Amino acid sequence: METLNEANYIKWLLTDQMIDIVAAVSMGRDIISQFKENKLTTQQAMGRLRICNHSVILTLFKLHELRKKYGKFLSTLPSEETAGIFKDAADIENKKICKFRNSYAAHIFDRETMAPISMQKGEELLNSITGKDNDQCEAFYDWLYPLQWSIDKPCVVSSIERLRAYCRQLPGGELRRP
């Protein structure tokens, strides 16, 4: 069987996305903890959190993109297996994560005006996504991957894991990485 079937490809994309989200959120929480313990300066914590949060945003954009590009295939699967991913993709759009990625995280010029991007507007949009302070950022992280994670807790990682496990059971889903 060919390794490029949709179930196998989606399974591996979801594996990477889950690893990236868990790693970035775990690092972000460690940074916040170190900052609260006065082990990091504000500048050190801000820079490191920025990297973690940009990584999360890029990964969430990929999840949104996966839902769009593989929507036809996903719509053939049982709704109980895809409901979480579809809800998360809608949340990603509602939180304006795609707008941040398309306008600020991946570009230096505004595509519409062809002028340099507004750093202030980018920071405002990022704060509306991840929160304006560490407590709000931790709430954002809980939406992605709660501290006491289990597959039964609704969050982005649980949605990813459910669909990934289902794809693994489909014909071709057990194949090696393409």
Question: Which letter, b or e, does each residue of 155-176 get, where b requires 16 or more Cβ atoms within 10 Å of its Cβ?
Answer: bbbbbbbbbbebbbebebbebe
Boundaries of domain holding 116:
6-169
Total domains present in the chain = 1
One digit per residue, the tens of pLDDT, for the chain of length 178 reads 444 589 999 999 999 999 999 999 999 999 999 999 999 999 999 999 999 999 999 999 999 999 999 999 999 999 999 999 999 999 999 999 999 998 888 888 887 788 898 888 889 999 999 999 999 999 999 999 999 999 999 999 999 999 999 999 998 888 888 8
> Comparing C-alpha atoms, which of 54, 48, 82 is closest to residue 66?
82
On whether residue 178 sits in a domain, the answer given is no
CATH number at residue 32: 1.20.120.1060
On whether residue 81 sits in a domain, the answer given is yes
> Comparing C-alpha atoms, which of 64, 49, 55 is closest to residue 14?
64
**What's the rounded Cα separation, in Å, for the pair 106 and 153?**
32
On whether residue 177 sits in a domain, the answer given is no
